[in-house]
């Protein structure tokens, strides 16, 4: 019996080692594919007329389904995997073209400010956005969103990355207010999946936790889970990763933080419960801001963000929105905020599809400006790549 158990254990070890080796080879193959894409695209930067060839992609997917079926792999799974691979390739080519056309192609290092400390979701978004395009990405954390934005203004960093909306908790008003008052330009966006975890210095039963720290947005996104912990005190903290850092430093088993699995790894905390957000599909959209705007090639799908203030009269906003409809401009976001130093008056933040350099969009926004008492273009930038 002992021999059979030993043989079974050895077989399991054999297969696990083989899977580990195959996983390593998969990563190496993906890396080789990406280097090939980089080489291919660098040779056509001066005449990059076709970043995305939908017909070629359609043919590729047909071949992938056939190859998968022949190899005994689920064709649907293989197709979905390659859709993600292609999206990543398009994303790289999009921002490489933007960098090249805005004379940033030769720059190999970049400094990015964010709110929080290492391990914060903003830190992860910054790395996600820049790491593939630059040899060195230096991320510098600040206590507040305003300090992160001011670091760009003061030329301490090249970019700041700021969260602007979440699918569970809604808009992040501090960022909207900063964009309205600062002389900064949105030059990109990043959307990341937010997975909140409850973590403590060691293993502890959930019912024995008495204090939970996290950022107010994370607390709002996990409100249902927290409502089932009546004996816990929930306290706002500057940032999710800062909360994790504090819990590590205090080393109090009755104290926990809500942060990412990455933060738990960084600060050597034990995850007590995973995926505690109200909605499993929990995403945060970040905007990337810089001192100068970018010009975006016409072939790249763009989003333009702006802020307007309307006359203080009946139907003023409807008249402004009608202008967009008449010019065929699709609005994807509308957010109202109080207008500074103008009690009971409001300014409106809009996201529209289209490039500011497109004549149709340009004409429509010019007319919109004529019907507004104030208008400011916040930026025209590549949309998050579609799959």
Q: Which two tokens stand for residue 63?
A: 């071949």
Q: Is the dihedral of CA 354, 356, 361, 366 positive or negative?
A: positive
The predicted model gives 213-224 an average pLDDT of: 93
- Indicate yes or no: pTM above 0.75: yes
Phi-psi map region of 114: left, alpha, beta (phi>0 left; psi -120 to 50 alpha): beta
Query: Using one digit for the tens of pLDDT, what is the confidence trace for 355-384?
Result: 999 999 999 999 999 999 999 999 999 998
- Which CATH number is 109-193+286-290's, of 3.20.20.150, 3.40.228.10, 3.10.450.50, 3.40.190.10? 3.40.190.10
Confidence of residue 162 (pLDDT cuts 50, 70, 90): very high
CATH architecture label of 302-382: 2-Layer Sandwich (3.30)
pLDDT at 47: 66
Catalytic site residue 286?
Answer: yes
Distance between CA 380 and CA 109 in Å, rounded?
Answer: 23
Other beta carbons within 10 Å of 32: 10
Annotated catalytic residue: which of 121, 145, 286, 349? 286
pLDDT at 1: 56
pLDDT at 237: 92
The full length of the chain comes to 387
The predicted model gives 119-133 an average pLDDT of: 93
Average pLDDT over the chain, rounded to an integer: 91
Whether residue 387 is predicted with pLDDT greater than 60 in this model: the reply is no
Distance between CA 204 and CA 253 in Å, rounded?
Answer: 7
Annotated catalytic residue: which of 94, 168, 175, 284? 284
Q: Which two tokens stand for residue 167?
A: 């699918």
Residue with tokens 């909605």: 279
Alpha helices in the chain (DSSP H): 2-42, 54-71, 75-101, 121-130, 145-153, 173-181, 216-221, 223-227, 240-250, 261-266, 316-326, 359-370
pLDDT at 343: 79
CATH of domain 197-273: 3.40.190.10
pLDDT at 46: 66
Whether residue 48 is predicted with pLDDT greater than 70 in this model: the reply is no
Query: Using one digit for the tens of pLDDT, what is the confidence trace for 259-293?
Result: 999 999 999 999 999 999 998 889 999 999 999 99
What phi and psi values does residue 370 have, to the nearest 5 degrees? -65, -25
Query: Using one digit for the tens of pLDDT, what is the confidence trace for 302-327?
Result: 999 999 999 888 889 999 999 999 99
Q: Is the dihedral of CA 276, 277, 280, 282 positive or negative?
A: negative
Q: Beta strand pairing status for 197-200 and 255-259?
A: antiparallel
Q: From residue 66, give the alpha-carbon distance in Å to each of 69, 87, 119, 207.
A: 5, 21, 41, 52
Asked if 266 and 117 touch (Cβ cutoff 8 Å), the reply is no
- Name, in order, each residue with C-beta under 8 angstroms of 95's C-beta and a sequence gap of 6 or more: 133, 188, 382
**How many CA atoms, within 13 angstroms, populate the side-chain half-sphere of residue 379?**
21
């Amino acid at each position: 019996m002992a021999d059979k158990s030993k043989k079974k254990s050895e077989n399991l070890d054999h297969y696990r080692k083989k899977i580990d080796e195959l996983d390593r080879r998969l990563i190496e193959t993906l890396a080789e594919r990406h280097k090939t894409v980089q080489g291919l695209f660098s040779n056509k930067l001066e005449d990059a007329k076709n970043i995305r060839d939908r017909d070629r992609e359609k043919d590729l997917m047909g071949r992938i389904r056939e190859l998968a079926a022949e190899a005994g792999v689920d064709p649907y799974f293989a197709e979905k995997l390659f859709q993600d691979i292609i999206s990543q390739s398009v994303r790289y080519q999009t921002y490489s073209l933007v960098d090249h056309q805005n004379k940033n192609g030769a720059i190999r290092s970049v400094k990015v400010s964010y709110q929080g400390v290492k391990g914060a979701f903003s830190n992860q978004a910054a790395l996600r956005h820049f790491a593939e395009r630059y040899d060195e990405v230096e991320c510098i954390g600040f206590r507040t969103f305003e300090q992160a934005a001011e670091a760009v203004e003061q030329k301490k960093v090249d970019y700041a990355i700021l969260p602007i909306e979440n699918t569970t908790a809604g808009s992040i008003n501090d960022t909207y207010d900063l964009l309205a008052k600062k002389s900064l330009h949105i030059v990109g966006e990043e959307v990341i999946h937010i997975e909140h975890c409850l973590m403590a210095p060691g293993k502890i039963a959930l019912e024995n936790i008495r204090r939970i720290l996290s950022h107010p947005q994370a607390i709002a996104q996990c409100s249902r889970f927290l409502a089932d912990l009546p004996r816990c005190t929930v306290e706002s903290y500057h940032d999710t990763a800062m909360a994790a850092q504090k819990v590590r430093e205090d080393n109090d088993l009755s104290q926990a933080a809500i942060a990412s699995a990455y933060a738990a790894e960084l600060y050597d905390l034990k995850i007590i419960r995973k995926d505690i957000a109200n909605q499993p599909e929990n995403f945060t959209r970040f905007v990337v801001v810089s001192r100068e705007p970018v010009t975006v090639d016409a072939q790249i799908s763009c989003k333009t963000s702006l802020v307007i203030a309307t006359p203080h009269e009946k139907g003023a906003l409807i008249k402004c929105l009608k202008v967009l409809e008449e010019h065929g401009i699709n609005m994807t976001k509308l957010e109202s905020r109080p207008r500074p130093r103008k009690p009971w008056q409001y300014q409106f933040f809009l996201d529209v599809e289209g490039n500011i350099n497109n004549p149709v969009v340009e004409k429509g926004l010019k007319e919109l400006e004529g019907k507004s008492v104030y208008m400011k273009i916040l930026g025209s930038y590549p949309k998050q790549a579609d799959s």
